[in-house]
Every structure is written in C-alpha cells, then in structure tokens.
Structure 1
Amino acid sequence: MSQSPESTAEVPQRSDDSPVEAVAPTAVRDAPTGSLWRDGNFLTMWSGQALAQVGSQVTELAIPVLAVLLLQASELEVGLLNAAGVAAFLVVGLPAGAWIDRMRKRRVMIWADAVRAAALAALPLLWWAGVLEIWHLYAVALVVGVATVFFDVSYQSIIPSLVRRNQIAEANGKLEATRELANIGGPAIGGWLIGIITAPFAILATVGTYVASFIALLLTRDHEQPRAADDREPILREIGEGLRWVLGNPLLRRIVGTTAISNFSSTLSFTLLPIFLLRELGLTPAAMGVIFSLGSIGGLAGAAATPHIVRWIGEARAIPVSAIGFGVIACFLPLAATFPAVAFPLLVAQMFVGSFTVLLYNITQVTFRQRITPGRLLGRMNASVRFCVWGVMPLAALLAGALGTWIGVVPTMWIGAVGQLLAALCVVIGPFWTMRELPDAQH
C-alpha cells in the first residue's frame, strides 16, 4: 500500500573490502551465465516470493478494513496499529543485522515465513470465535513485524550468494517487478476476497502464500559461505561497524537521509489512508483495492523502465530525478479531498507516478549498496539502513494518529505531503548531478 522508498527492497557483505565473489565463490562459479530466466535456483526462490508478495498485499488491505469497518477503530487506534507493524525495525533492527550476519540467511527466511503464517492464522480463528479485539491486531502486527525484520534483511542480503555479481541488478529488477505485479493484483484480489468471505478469512490467503514461500525456500540452494567463528566480535561492536559503514559513505548517507525523511512523511499520510478512503471519501474496500491496483501499474512500468532511464541520464542522476518525482506527486493525495468529484483519477495518478518513481529510486540505490558493501557487512548494512529509514515509521504512525485526532485527517496528510517534497533536498543538493555513474566497490 505504501509507496515509500525502501518499502520492501534493499540489499548487501567482508571487512577486507573484497568483492562479492570472494564471499560466495561457489555461487559465482555455479550460477548460470546470461539471463536469470535460465537459473532454476533463482526462479524457485523468486516464485515463492511472488506468491508471498501477493499474499502480503491482501493482508495490507484486509487488516485496515478489519480495524476500521469491523472493529470501528479510531484515528489513534489506526496509528497504533500501523506503529505496531513497523516498530520492530526501530527496536530490533540493528541487532537483527548483526545476528543475521552470523546465520545462514535462507534459514532465517524459512523460520520467518513460518512465524508470520502462524501469527496471521490466529486472526480468523479469533474472529470466528467471536473474541477478536483491537489489541489482538496489535499483538499480531508486532509478531509479524519482528519476523519481517529478519526476513527482509536476510532477503536483501542473500541475492549476491544466489547470482553472479553482474546479475545483481537484473535480480533486483525482477524482484521489484514481481512486487509491483503483486501490488497490482494483490489489492484487487484482496478487495474481492473481503467482499466474498470477509476480511478475517481473506487473511487466510496470505497464510497460504507464506506457506508456499516457506516450501520454495526449502528447495532453494543458497551457496552462502558462513562466517568463521573467529571472525566475530561483540555484538555492539559489530552493530557499530555496520552503522559506520552506512553513515561513513557520503553518497549513501545522503540516500539514507532522503529515504528516512520521505518514509517518515509518507507514513503520516498512509497511516490515515484507510480512514481517508473509507470514511472521508466513502469508498468501498473493493474501490480502495482497485485504486491501489491501478496505481501499482506505475511500479511495474518503473521496474521495466529503470535500466533504460539509467542508461539515458546516468545511474547517479536517476537518484535525485526520482526523488523529485515522488516528492512532487505526493501532494496529489490530500488534493483529492479538495476535488472529490475527480478524487478517483487523482488518487490513481498519484499512486501510478509515485510507484514509478519509487521503483526507479529503489532499484538504483539498492543495486549501488549491494555493489559497494563488503560481504561480511551485508546483513548489518541492510539492517542499519532499515533502522534509519524504517525506524522512523512507528514514530510517524503514532504522530499521525495524534495529529489525525487533533487537527483532522486531511491536514495531517498535507503535512506528510510537504515533508516528502522536502525529503528530496538531501540528494538534490549534492554531488549526484555532477556524476553519471555511481562508484563501484573498492578492490
């Protein structure tokens, strides 16, 4: 639902600053050359993630509908629910990266899928028993959020051990395109399922897709070379090493600044979006799903267009160009309240352009991060970035609930829109315009 940068994809690894190949030599030698369409191992993992992405979109629609329409949640309660879903990135995001760098990432993803499926399965059971309350949604959101931290950091860190170094950008593009296909189909499917079997039981569809992802990961070969036991330091020192790597790179530091400010601001808007669409504009869950689906076509187009845009204007310039794009278009969201007669096309346009520019931004900056990060730091780099750019989101969600109660839904969304516009300044004012290509890893 959210179009924030770093919404799902980021990425990531060895203190000697050696290239990715030195970390996973088996993967580099064994992975097929050419297109990843011929790589059965990558396709197995990719297919499981495709199903899981569709399922997650169903739940992103079903849980807010469940809270707003069935449990009559207030603005503050919706803010608390959204904060619960992303609180784990603030609370356990940094240590998770250090722990994941000591573990086999595919195994972490398998366990995370199992936990997410079990936690979500509890909601329809509680509803069927007639005892479902808003605090149950908070609890499930917290559990799923913790599992998602471990899954996402591992997911973004495993790519270099599955494909060759020159295939990383292609892999990121395919994964992002799949996410956008899920964004197109998932909300529409979710709206249809909610109308047919109600929101609680629509969540069971997500449970099934997480089980499918679990099975696909069991069948995937990861080729990861675990870190030696003597290559470990105290956990706090390792966390600090990851943070220093992220904040010590001037280009990456600017990217993190833009992403963090944009995510904070967009969370102000998107936290209250279900109330805005379902109550303020009087839309149905099905219409809400259609808006998200049509808008997400822009993300698919962005994933397909990114290689061409990067070749045209350069990798470095694609960063500020895309940041300007998703900053400007953010203003269309609250503008829909001013022109209710054309609210539907305004919302679709906002979602379409926002998704397109966010995908251009994410694919470009994620590939840059994967390329330059030493192998042993991949998990900590991703976790450090996620801590900075997602850790602000629970705070913003709580603020959105408070502001929505105090000044109203639409004024809060305008504050979020202006914040997204200002977020672009971190990369607009800087060296990106004077470069064409972003630097490679130091050998």
Structure 2
Amino acid sequence: MDFRRLWLADAVSQLGTRMTFLAAPLLAVLSLNASTFEVALVRTCESLGYLLIGLVAGAWVDRVRCRPVLLTTDYGRAVLMLTVPAAALFGVLTLWQLYVVMFAVGVLTVFFDVAHQSYLPRLLPADKLVDANAKLAANASVAALTGAGAGGFLVQLLTAPFVFVLDALSMVWSALWVRSIKHREPPVPRVPDRHLGREIREGVRFVARHPLLRPIALNTATVVLCQSAGMGVSIVFLVRDIGLSAGVIGVLGVIGLVGALLASALTRRLVAWLGQVRALLLGAACIGPAFLAQAFTTPGWGLTWWVASGFVASFCIVLTNIVMATVRQTVCPPALLGRVNATMELTVFGVVPMGSLLGGVLGTVLGTRATLLSTGAVACLGVIWLVTAPAARRTEIVGAAG
C-alpha cells in the first residue's frame, strides 16, 4: 500500500516534469527569441545541480530520513515553477529568470532524486525491487509519452509559460501522496566523528572499485554526454531546420516514446530470459546507433528516422535504467546507498550540463545536423566500457546489500 502511494506520487509528478522539459526550450525559442547556444543553456542550467552538489546531496541524504526530503523538495519546486507564468503574466519574463528558475529547480531535483532512489529499498524487500523499479520506469514512460504530446499542444493552447503551472500542481500532488505514506523510517543513527568529505569519498570509492558499477558509470557518462549534446540542439533542429511546429514535435515524441512504455512492460521478462548483465549489454549496445539515426531526419517521410530513433533509444534507455537501478540497490550496503546513488547519478546528470554546452558550441560552429551526426557516432562507442569488463561475463548480479 505504501509503495502504491509512492507510485501515485511519482506518476503525475513525472507527467508535469516531462511537459516542462519540452516547454522550457520551446519557451526560449518561441517567446524569448533565444539563439541555439542560449537554448542549450536552458538545458545546462536545469542539470547543473548534479555537477555542483550531487555528491554532497548523496552524503547528506544518508544522514537523514528520506520522506521529509521528498516533501520539502516537492513544495519548493512548485513555488519556483509558479514564478515563470507570474513573470510572463506581467510581461517581465526574461531568459535570465528562466535560467535561474531552471537551475534552482534542478538543485532541488538532485536532493529529490537521491532521496527517492534511497527510499525505495526502505519500503520493499530486495526481491521486489526489479518489479518496483519497472513500475516507476513505467511512470516515466507514460509521462514521456503523454507529456511530450500534451506539452506540445498545451504550449500552443496556453503558451509555454503557463505549462509551468501544471508542473507546479503535479509537484503538489506528489507531496500530498508522499505525506499519506504510513511507513515511518527510523531515525538514522548518528555516527561519531562524521566528516562530509570522507563520507563522499566512501561512496565514490565503492563505485570506482566495484567490477560492474564502474563500467556502468563510464558507459553512462559517455552516452549521456553525447545524448545531452544532441538534445541541446534537437529543438532548434526540428523547428528551424525541419520546419516543425510545437504540436508536431509533441506528436513525434509520443510516437517515438512508445518504446519506453514497451520496455517498462517487457524488462522483467527480458531479465528473466537473458539475465541482468546480458539484458544490460543488449540495451547499451543499441542506444548509440539509435541516437546516430536522428541525424538522417528530413522533412516529410524522412521524419521516420526521428520516430524510429526515438522508439529504439527510449526502449533501450528504460531497459538499462531499470537494470542499473536494481544493480546498485542490490549490491550496495544500505548505509552507503545515498552516496552510491548520488555518485551514479552524477555520471548521468553531472555530464548533462557539459553535454548541453558542447551541443550549443557544436551547433553554432558545425550546424545542428552535423552535431547530431558526430555526437551519435561517439555514443556508439560507449558500450565498449561494458563489453570489456570482466563482470560482463556474468548473467546475474552476485551478492546482495548487507
């Protein structure tokens, strides 16, 4: 019952976040006349928090109960989101305000995400984690499907700033469901002679020395760097090079992200059939070629490249994310889980601002299509970190958190 409440909290919150993920760059392009580099900066600000404080957040979350962190960050993000439509209503919205709001929301999201991932093993036994992670991934998939399409149409209907109101309401929804969870975590025991730097090093060292977490982190960093560079120019590419409207971009996202929903439903069977490690390798091997296919998109029937790319990439990203989350929740001692989660998330979101900036620079110098082509080609190399690791010869994860 408590997991159901957490699942319901996550479901609508994910939907609001996905709509804003599309609305923020569209707001910059359509309402604030941002350049390619300025649009990339919106993505950079949104993800910069992980790079700056991700490891600190992980160490801090290991010291406290997770539920109050989830509540505080939900309410805080809701208030921040409402400042965008308020400024737009009075005609004073600027790119700089958008940058500041997205940065502040991103910082709170760092704490929310680390606490959310650390909270799940406190609610459920280890043998329920794959199924629970798959259900949470299904939330993200459904949100991506409906949020991408709804976000595009709502931008046209309400204008981009007012989509932020819906995201704020989704954060309040999340907080109300988290408040209804009856399970109460015991207080985290105080450890004498605590030292934040030492605690951070313990989490980083665990990942660096683990035979599977280390190659997963390196693969993720490579792929996400290229993905974020491509995404930094994708809206500009579709609007200015291909000539699409916000609504059509939303429809393309809905069609392509069907793969994410399918992966949420099939991952448990794939893991049972292939084993966790082989399922991870399969997904990781296909992500790079899917990104590369985006560069071949043209108007008309050439949009098929974008749709097919979105389908395959979304399927494989969700598959690998479910397996990766289960791996670290399984192999990591509970006292280290917040720090390990933060370290692993740093390889995802910590490189996003660098990738977004890289995409902005490459898009300005080379053009958007050449940027998609080059970043997709490099993303194909990310799987090398996994296939060359000795742990890749296994089929199942050995050892449980203790």
Aligned equivalent of 1:72: 33
Match of 1:218 among 158, 175, 179: 179
User: How many angstroms does 1:433 deviate by?
Assistant: 4.6
- Aligned partner of residue 64 in structure 2, secondary structure: coil
Tell me how far apart the structure 1 counterparts of residues 41 and 173 of structure 2 sit (CA, whole Å).
30
Q: Does 1:104 align with 2:60?
A: no
Tell me how far apart the structure 1 counterparts of residues 205 and 33 of structure 2 sit (CA, whole Å).
45
- Aligned partner of residue 233 in structure 1, secondary structure: coil
Aligned equivalent of 1:430: 389
Tell me how far apart the structure 1 counterparts of residues 183 and 295 of structure 2 sit (CA, whole Å).
44
Match of 1:387 among 325, 346, 361: 346
1:160 to 1:115, Cα distance in 2 relative to 1, 3 A: same
Tell me how far apart the structure 2 counterparts of residues 353 and 122 of structure 1 sit (CA, whole Å).
36
Aligned equivalent of 1:244: 205
Following superposition of structure 1 onto structure 2, how do residues 339-358 of structure 1 map, counting pairs within 5 Å?
339-358=298-317
Following superposition of structure 1 onto structure 2, how do residues 189-338 of structure 1 map, counting pairs within 5 Å?
189-230=150-191, 233-336=194-297
Residues 393-402 or 265-274, more deviating: 393-402
User: How many angstroms does 1:318 deviate by?
Assistant: 1.2
- Aligned partner of residue 381 in structure 2, secondary structure: helix
Tell me how far apart the structure 2 counterparts of residues 127 and 57 of structure 1 sit (CA, whole Å).
20
User: How many angstroms does 1:340 deviate by?
Assistant: 3.0
Aligned equivalent of 1:174: 135
Paired AA for residue 278 in structure 1: V
Aligned equivalent of 1:43: 4
1:401 to 1:217, Cα distance in 2 relative to 1, 3 A: same
Q: Does 1:375 align with 2:331?
A: no
Aligned equivalent of 1:8: none
Tell me how far apart the structure 1 counterparts of residues 59 and 100 of structure 2 sit (CA, whole Å).
25
Q: Does 1:131 align with 2:98?
A: no
Tell me how far apart the structure 1 counterparts of residues 387 and 301 of structure 2 sit (CA, whole Å).
32
Q: Does 1:439 align with 2:386?
A: no
Kindly indicate whether the alpha-carbon contact (under 8 Å) linking 1:319 and 1:432 is maintained by their aligned counterparts in 2: no
Paired AA for residue 268 in structure 2: P
- Aligned partner of residue 242 in structure 1, secondary structure: helix
Q: Does 1:360 align with 2:319?
A: yes
User: How many angstroms does 1:435 deviate by?
Assistant: 1.6
Kindly indicate whether the alpha-carbon contact (under 8 Å) linking 1:162 and 1:223 is maintained by their aligned counterparts in 2: no
Poorly superposed stretches of 4+, deviation over 6 Å? none
- Aligned partner of residue 400 in structure 2, secondary structure: coil
User: How many angstroms does 1:391 deviate by?
Assistant: 1.2
User: How many angstroms does 1:281 deviate by?
Assistant: 0.7
Tell me how far apart the structure 2 counterparts of residues 209 and 425 of structure 1 sit (CA, whole Å).
39
Corresponding pairs, count:
402
Aligned equivalent of 2:120: 159
Kindly indicate whether the alpha-carbon contact (under 8 Å) linking 1:320 and 1:432 is maintained by their aligned counterparts in 2: no
Structure 2: gaps (5+ residues): none
Kindly indicate whether the alpha-carbon contact (under 8 Å) linking 2:233 and 2:368 is maintained by their aligned counterparts in 1: yes
Tell me how far apart the structure 2 counterparts of residues 88 and 289 of structure 1 sit (CA, whole Å).
27
Tell me how far apart the structure 2 counterparts of residues 363 and 166 of structure 1 sit (CA, whole Å).
14
Kindly indicate whether the alpha-carbon contact (under 8 Å) linking 2:330 and 2:401 is maintained by their aligned counterparts in 1: no
User: How many angstroms does 1:79 deviate by?
Assistant: 1.8
Kindly indicate whether the alpha-carbon contact (under 8 Å) linking 2:6 and 2:177 is maintained by their aligned counterparts in 1: yes
Q: Does 1:410 align with 2:369?
A: yes
Kindly indicate whether the alpha-carbon contact (under 8 Å) linking 1:257 and 1:426 is maintained by their aligned counterparts in 2: yes
User: How many angstroms does 1:294 deviate by?
Assistant: 1.4
Tell me how far apart the structure 1 counterparts of residues 401 and 156 of structure 2 sit (CA, whole Å).
54
Aligned equivalent of 1:21: none
- Aligned partner of residue 328 in structure 2, secondary structure: helix
Following superposition of structure 1 onto structure 2, how do residues 47-66 of structure 1 map, counting pairs within 5 Å?
47-66=8-27
Tell me how far apart the structure 2 counterparts of residues 113 and 240 of structure 1 sit (CA, whole Å).
28
User: How many angstroms does 1:222 deviate by?
Assistant: 4.0
TM normalised by structure 1 equals 0.88
Paired AA for residue 273 in structure 2: W
User: How many angstroms does 1:171 deviate by?
Assistant: 0.7
1:329 to 1:104, Cα distance in 2 relative to 1, 3 A: same
Residues 350-359 or 431-440, more deviating: 431-440
User: How many angstroms does 1:303 deviate by?
Assistant: 1.3
TM normalised by structure 2 equals 0.97
Paired AA for residue 426 in structure 1: W
Kindly indicate whether the alpha-carbon contact (under 8 Å) linking 1:158 and 1:222 is maintained by their aligned counterparts in 2: no
Tell me how far apart the structure 1 counterparts of residues 342 and 181 of structure 2 sit (CA, whole Å).
23
Tell me how far apart the structure 1 counterparts of residues 399 and 64 of structure 2 sit (CA, whole Å).
27
Paired AA for residue 70 in structure 1: S
Residues 222-231 or 62-71, more deviating: 222-231
Structure 1: gaps (5+ residues): 1-39
User: How many angstroms does 1:224 deviate by?
Assistant: 2.4
- Aligned partner of residue 377 in structure 1, secondary structure: helix
Kindly indicate whether the alpha-carbon contact (under 8 Å) linking 2:46 and 2:105 is maintained by their aligned counterparts in 1: yes
Residues 84-93 or 413-422, more deviating: 413-422
User: How many angstroms does 1:169 deviate by?
Assistant: 1.0
Kindly indicate whether the alpha-carbon contact (under 8 Å) linking 2:56 and 2:196 is maintained by their aligned counterparts in 1: yes
Tell me how far apart the structure 2 counterparts of residues 232 and 154 of structure 1 sit (CA, whole Å).
23
Kindly indicate whether the alpha-carbon contact (under 8 Å) linking 2:46 and 2:103 is maintained by their aligned counterparts in 1: yes
Task: Please list the CA deviations of residues 138-191 of structure 1 after superposition, one character each: whole Å capped at 9, or x if unmatched.
Answer: 000110000000000011110011112211111101000111011111111112
Kindly indicate whether the alpha-carbon contact (under 8 Å) linking 2:329 and 2:401 is maintained by their aligned counterparts in 1: no
Tell me how far apart the structure 1 counterparts of residues 16 and 205 of structure 2 sit (CA, whole Å).
36
